Amino acid sequence: MAGSYDEWMKEVRAAFGSLDMPMADWHEIGAFDYRSEYDSGVKPNDAALKANRQWWQEWNQSLQQDCRKTRGCWLPRGHQGQCERFSESKA
């Protein structure tokens, strides 16, 4: 894990780069508590994935297309398979 918060955030930004959307664009859309993730020892890639899922949940809610089966599911309404909460990581 990166030593400082600044180093950790550089790794998070790099992970967002692989999602084809700059972190600044994600940050404008929804607030995410990166500091809390860092303080909890979450790996940068996992934090980026969690932030991505939170963004999708908020986006789907804004379109009124959010999943209504499970609170916190980041997938759109009518998705196939099991619900996935944005705060849970897939192992």
Closest to 58 in 3D by CA, of 88, 31, 89, 20: 31
What are the phi and psi torsion angles at 17 (to 5°)?
-60, -35
Domain chopping of the chain, boundaries? 1-91
Please give the residue that has the higher pLDDT: either 86 or 81: 81
How far the first Cα of the chain sits from its last, in Å, is 18
Lookup: tokens for 53: 């899922």
72: nearest Cα among 80, 63, 61: 61
Distance of alpha carbon 67 from alpha carbon 31, whole angstroms: 20
Q: In this predicted model, what pLDDT tens digit does every residue of 5-20 receive, in sequence order?
A: 888 888 888 877 666 5
pTM above threshold 0.95:
no
